[in-house]
Structure 1
Amino acid sequence: MAKEVVSKEVEIERLQAKLRKAYSQMERQQADYDEEVRKFKKDSEQAKEELVRVVNKCVNFRVLWPNSPRHSVCQSNFCRLNDLEAESAKYQEKAKTLDSGQLNAIAEMQEKLRTQEKELSRLRNELSEKEKIAKTFEEMKKELDYLELQNDTLSQTLDSKENTVKELERHIAAHSTLGANLSPQPRHKGSGGLTKSLSNYAIDANCNRRDDVSAAMSRSLRSTQKKLVDSRLLVKCLKETVERLARGESPDISRLLGIKTDSMSESEAEQVAFDSTTMTMGVAEKMSSHCLTAYNFALCPFQKNESSS
C-alpha cells in the first residue's frame, strides 16, 4: 500500500511538471502567434492602403491611358495583395486551431491530474486505516503473549503444587497407618484406670507431642495452603481477563496487580499465617484435604475450557 501511494505521488508530480511545461510552451507559442498575426495585420493594413492608392492611380491611369502597359502591372499588384490577405487569414485560422488543441490537451491533463489526486487521497486513507488496524493487532498480540506466558507459569505452579500435595498425602497416609498399627505401652501398677492418649505413641521422636506433625511438615502444609490460595486467585483473575478480552472489553488492571476478588469468601481470600509451630495429625489431615479441594477448584476453569473445546 505504501509503495502504491509513493508511485501515485510520483505520477502526480510528473503530470504537474508536464502541465507546467505545456503551459510554458503554450504561452511561448501564443506570444509568437500573436506577434506573427500582428505583423500580418500591419502588413495587410499597409497593403490595403497601398492597394487603394494603386487602384485609384490605376483607375485614373486607365481613364487617361487605356492602352498603356502599366495597366497589367497594376493588375498583378492587385493579385499579390489578395494573396497576402488569404495567407494572413490562413495564419489566423491556424493560430486558432493550435490554441484550441492546446486548451483541449491542458483540460485533459487537468482532469487526469484531478483523478490521480482523488486516487492518492483514497489510498492514503486506506493506508492510515490499515496502519491503525496493524497497531491494534500488535497490541493484542503482545497482550495475548503475556497472558499465555502467565498461563504457562500458572500451569507450572499448579503442577508443582499437585506434586507437593501428593507427597503430603503419602506422608499423612504413612503416619496414619503407623499410628493405627502401634499399640499403647503397658500401664504401671501404681497408675490409675485411665488409658494413655495417642500422645504416648512413638510416632515422631523429634516432636514435642507424639501425635503432632513435625515442624518442617507443618511449615510445608501452611506454605502449600498459602500458595494454593494465591494460585486460585491468579486463576480467577486470568479467567476473567480472558473472558473480558473475548467480549472485546478491557481487562481489569487492578485484578492483575494482585487485588483480591470479591467473589471469594473472607476465609478463602485470607492470607495463611506462616509460622513454624507444630500441628496435630487431625489438623494436618484437615489442611491437606482443604489443599486438595482448593487445588481441584483452581483447576476447574481449565477443565471446563478443555471439555468445551
Structure 2
Amino acid sequence: MTEIIRSLADLTGRYDAVFCDLWGCLHNGKAAFPAAVAALQNFRTTGGKVVLLTNAPRPKSSVIKQLDGLGVPRDAYDLVVTSGDAAQMGMLSGAVGRKVHFIGAPKDEVFFTDFAEDLATYAATQPPITLVPLNEAEGIVCTGLNDDLTETPDNYRATLLMAKTLGLPMLCANPDIVVDLDDKRLYCAGALAQAYEQMGGTALYFGKPHPPIYDLARRRLAEAGVQADPQILCIGDGISTDIQGGGSEGLDTLFITGGLEAAQFGTDVESPEMAKLEAWLALRQLTPTFAMGRLR
C-alpha cells in the first residue's frame, strides 16, 4: 500500500540518493518550484546525493543551462542524467545506423554535437554520424516535434508512414508522451514513437522507464564516489515513466500526484485523497512506495 507523506524530510536517513524528475516536480517549464528546491537542498545537507534524472532529449550540459535559466540553484543537485545522454550512447553505437534522419526542434540539434565527458571519449572512437534526408537514411533520431507549441503527432503522419515503408528504426530520445509547460500540455518524442509503433514501425527507447538511463545514472553515481549498492528513491509525477521505471529497477518510488495527474486526486493539489489515489493506482497495477501532492 502506498504511504502518503508530508515532505521528503520524512524519509531522512533512509536513502543514499534520489533520482528526481524535473518537469512537474522541480519546475513547470517556466520557473522552479521553491519548495522542491528546498527539499532537495535539505536532502543534500543530510548527506544524500541528488541525481536529476530527466527524459529531456538533450545532453546534460544543455539541461543544466536550462535549469540555470529557470532559477534552479546548482546546490540543489549533484548530477544530471538525461535521456539524451543515454540515447546518444545508443546512436553512437550504431543502433539506427550511421546515416540518420533527424526529427526534432532546432534547439535539440546539440544532440549530435554536444557530448558529456564519458560519451565524448566513446564518440571519438566511432565512425561519424551523418544527417541525411529521409529517403537516404538508415534510421531516424527523434528528439521531439519541430514546434511543440503548435504541432501534434498528426502533423508527422506522412513522414512516419514513409519511414515505415522504408523500414527505418526510430531512436526515441525522450519516451515521455506529454509534458506540461505551465498550463499548456505539449507532445514529446514519445508520442511520435508511439504513433510510429502503431503503424508497425520499430522504436528504440533509452530514457525512463527503460534500463539504459538507470544504468548510466548508477555508473555516474559510482564515479562520484557513492558506495556500492546505494539505497535509491525515484521521485516523479510520471506513473508510466518515473514510477514504473523505478519499480522495474527494484527501487523505491515517490509519486508526485500534483504533476501530470493532479486533477485525479481531489481538489487540494497538496493533499491527494487516499481513496481516489488507491483506485487510480489499482487500474494501472502500480504501487508507488510513497506519494505526496507536490515535492517539498
Q: What TM-score comes out, normalization by structure 2 length? A: 0.19
Which gives a bigger RCO, structure 1 or 2 (Cα 8 Å, sep 6+)? 2
Structure number with higher strand proportion: 2
Say which one has the larger Rg: 1
Structure number with higher helix proportion: 1
